[in-house]
Structure 1
Amino acid sequence: MTKMLSIVENSSTKLLYALDETFIKVESDNRRTWSPVGNPTIIEKNNLKKGLKLIGATEISKKYDSFVDAYQYKTKITSDEFIHFAEHLLEINENKKIYIILDNARIHKSLAVRLFRAANEKNLKLVYLPPYSPELNPQENVWNKYKACIHTNSSKSSEDILYEETCKFYDSFNNTQDMVKNLVSASNYYYK
């Protein structure tokens, strides 16, 4: 990993992304609650099985920009969605080679993905993390920051509102390059 990182950092035509999937429900994530002494805590809950499933990637070596695709909670994220997302990364980084660090999820290793990777081997390299090692994926820090900002003490009333808040988060997040760099810089993960 260190050798690859050195190659990417010393080239203007290579970029390194960390990619991962997650989900978020419209329900609040009550990390903390309080109530006056003697009164029971009341937690708002709407029991909806709704939310968003997300595919996200953040460039972790130079530009520190972050991208996300959102899908309705009932949508199953498959290799097709992953390939669509990877195609988008290739389009916005035309004439560059991109390295994508990702986990060993089945959708990342399907026949369709292997064929896609072979068809784009000049501009794309998939780098798989060891099994069960989310701590090596910087995108996990982006998800933690995202969920901490999105979750409040009250539930969202719809997926549309959750989607709007997700868009606002990413607009703001991509305008704070120093914070993004502190969260995901590849040197924090792979030079130790």
Structure 2
Amino acid sequence: MVFEGRFTVKVFLEFLGRMVRRLDGRKVFFIVDRHSVRKAKKVNDWLAEHEDKIRLFLLPPYSPELNPDALASQDIKRTSFVTEG
């Protein structure tokens, strides 16, 4: 799902709802980072109502070795691009 603007509880709940509807009754498991949106009360309440259809697993607070985005970010930060002038 592509969205404009900030990543909010509303955006995340829309994404989760779309996933649940598209999977036609199959349960989905998501491994996610600990962004504050993913830990919000509204998200937890929604997940409790849909526990038969979806489950989130939160990564440990700091675990770049488990998060592909963090690994890519680290790689980019370590690589220096030198241009000759």
Aligned to 2:38: 108
1:88 deviates by 1.1
Q: Residues 23-172 of structure 1 correspond to what in structure 2 (within 5 A)?
A: 69-72=1-4, 75-138=5-68, 140=69
Q: Distance in 2 between matches of 1:70 and 1:106?
A: 19
Deviations 1:4-62 (A, max 9, x none): xxxxxxxxxxxxxxxxxxxxxxxxxxxxxxxxxxxxxxxxxxxxxxxxxxxxxxxxxxx
Gaps of 5+ in 2: 73-85
Q: Distance in 1 between matches of 2:19 and 2:65?
A: 23
Note if contact 1:97-1:124 (Cα within 8 Å) is conserved in structure 2.
yes
Alignment-mate amino acid for residue 89 of structure 1:
M
Q: Distance in 2 between matches of 1:71 and 1:83?
A: 13
Classify the secondary structure of the residue corresponding to 2:45.
helix
Alignment-mate amino acid for residue 2 of structure 2:
A
1:133 deviates by 1.5
Identity among equivalent positions (%) equals 30
Q: Distance in 2 between matches of 1:89 and 1:122?
A: 13
Note if contact 1:79-1:107 (Cα within 8 Å) is conserved in structure 2.
yes
Gaps of 5+ in 1: 1-68, 145-192
Alignment-mate amino acid for residue 56 of structure 2:
L
Which one has the largest radius of gyration? 1
Alignment-mate amino acid for residue 20 of structure 2:
L
Which protein is richer in helix relative to its size? 2
Q: TM-score, normalised by structure 1?
A: 0.35
Query: How many residues are matched?
Result: 71
